[in-house]
Every structure is written in C-alpha cells, then in structure tokens.
Amino acid sequence: MLRRLKADFRLSIITLLGTSALLGITPFAAIRFWQGNVLAGLIDTSILVFICAGMAYAWITGDTRRSGMVLAVIACAGAVAVAAAVGEVGLFWLFPCLVTTFFLANPRLATLLNATSIVAMVAQSDVFQSDIQMWTFAATAVVVSAAAFAFAQRTDDQRERLEQLATIDPLTGVQNRRAMNEELGEATAHAERTGMSYALVMMDIDHFKKINDTYGHGVGDSVLVDLVTRVQQSTRKSDQLFRYGGEEFVLLLPGVDGAGLSAVMNNLQHIVRKKVKHPGGAISASFGVAVLRHSEHVGSWLERADSALYEAKKMGRDRVVFSGNMPKPTAKEPATGTGFVD
C-alpha cells in the first residue's frame, strides 16, 4: 500500500483527503445532529460519504483522474453548502478545498471550481458580518488559490523531472530497465485482455568491449546512440526500445508475430549491419526473439528472449534466434544468421 501511495501522487492526495474527512468531518456531523441542526448534519454526512466513496473508487480502479475531479467538485460544493447551512463558521472549510483542488483536478478545472466557489460564497451576503469582511474573505481566497496553483504547478514539474530521471537512460534517451519492467507488465496484461500478440527482442552489440578498448568509451557511446537512432527510425511509433544495460537493448513489438516478425528482424539486422559504424568499420548485433505466450509472466518471457540471445552468440554472433517455433525464412531472406531454440 505504501509503495502504491509513493508511486501515485494523486492517489496519495485523495487518500489524505479521505482520511482528513473521516477525522475532521465526522465529529462535526455528530455534534450538529446532537445540537438539532439536522440539515447541517446531513450535509456533513453526505460530504463524508461521497469523499470516502471516491477514495474507495480510486483505490479499487486506479482511476485517480476521474475520482480526483469528482472529489474536487464535492469538496468545493460541500464547503459552500456548509457555509449556507451554519453561517460564518462554515467559511473556513473552503480554504483547504481551494488548495486541494489543484492537486485533485487539472489546472483549468481547479481554477474554475475555485472561482465559482468564491463567487458562491460572496453571493451569500448574509453569511458575512460586513462588506469589509466579505471582500477580505474574497481577497484572501483568491491569494490562497493563486499560491496553490503556483505550488501545484511547480510540484508537477519537479515530479515529471524526477520520473524522467528515474525512467530515461541519460546517454541514449530511451527508457531504462525500470520503465521496461512496467511496460512489459502492462503488455502482458493487455495481451491477456485482448489477445494481441507481443514480441520481445533482446539485442546485444557484438564485440562491443573491443570497440571501447580500441577506440575509447567516447566512440562506444557514439555507437550506442547511433544504434538507438537507427532502430527507432526503422520501427513503428508503437514499438518501444529500452536500454537493458551496457550494450544490451530490449525492443517491445506489439501486434507482430509469425512471418511478419521474421521480416522485421531481418530488416533490423540488415539496418544494423549497413548503417551503424565506428572508425574500424561496420558493427553487427545478435538478437534473441520471444513471442509472448498465453498467460506467460514477464520473467519467463524475458528469460526466453535472453536464452535465445545467448544461443545467437553461441552460434557465432550476428544472428537472429527465435525462441520456440517460428516461420522459417522465405526464399528472399538469408538462411544464415537465423535460428530457433526451444
């Protein structure tokens, strides 16, 4: 649970709001019922129920975007309703709502909600003791909203930067191993739901250590960047490339299998041979390919692709080896450099 809260900022805000509602609103609802103010008690209870229901929905479905927007509306509307029911003391409930809206909803909706809530409060002129108090309330509410907006935007920017640092390889610009694990998990879940085929390709630059030792790590880095550029130019936007470690990369190919996958791999092997070079000439790469099996978990899928890559290197490198039964190369495809392993 803690890991999920750390990973999903909006869910943590929703949970904080729900917990605060339970601890903060419940006593007031009980007191108002005890004092005979049934309307205010019902309003408090309704707010509490809706907030808790929204929190439960977010936890169960993972849909924090919709639940966040709904909770922002409920919180602001509830604060206005409480002020109408209990008078001046209800004004204070709006201020925490003005802050949390920018963390629960997108900036445009949050701004609209805050502005509408402030106007709705000011429209209840009988809630305020004087015009000075009313305009003071409006001014402070606007300042709080502006500060919350600035803080929320800065928090979002910093979180995006941290996520990028955590998931993007700084040298090549492609996603790293951490991001790969998440994407492969989503791919297996999607395949289970829809039946879509997914292929996993592990590729390793042949004799890369010799390039580094002979020409230096600067040249080695250039080779890695060039390889990534060529692969991305030769694949679809829906395909995803990850740096697995060192000179090893993983390519996730959705919606391909059979003869189509064989053609893709032959083309990719040709591109690497002809386009990626270093001062000593062209390079080559070894490829291990595994098509996702029904109900297969990520660990097994990766292991089969890695075993196929190992077999490609064992067979002499510069080869494409498929895990399991795949179509044999057509007459136009090279018979050498392609293999199969169970």
**DSSP string over 254-294:** ET--HHHHHHHHHHHHHHHHHH-EETTEE--EEEEEEEPPT
* Residue keyed to tokens 């439960």: 56
User: Catalytic site residue 247?
Assistant: yes
Distance separating alpha carbons of residues 182 and 185, to the nearest angstrom: 5
**DSSP string over 128-172:** SSSHHHHHHHHHHHHHHHHHHHHHHHHHHHHHHHHHHHHHB-TTT
115 touches 141 (CB < 8 A)? no
User: Which residue among the candidates 88, 160, 192, 247 is catalytic per the annotation?
Assistant: 247
**DSSP string over 168-199:** B-TTT-SB-HHHHHHHHHHHHHHHHHH---EE
Q: Is the dihedral of CA 125, 127, 131, 133 positive or negative?
A: negative
Residue 125: CA count within 13 A, CB half-sphere: 3
Q: Is the dihedral of CA 67, 69, 75, 81 positive or negative?
A: negative
211 touches 219 (CB < 8 A)? yes
Count of residues making up the chain: 342
229: helix, strand or coil: helix
Contacts for 254 with CB less than 8 Å, ≥ 6 apart: 187, 196, 197, 198, 238, 239
What the block records as the tokens of 114 is 């805050």
Question: Any idea which residues carry the catalytic annotation?
Answer: 247
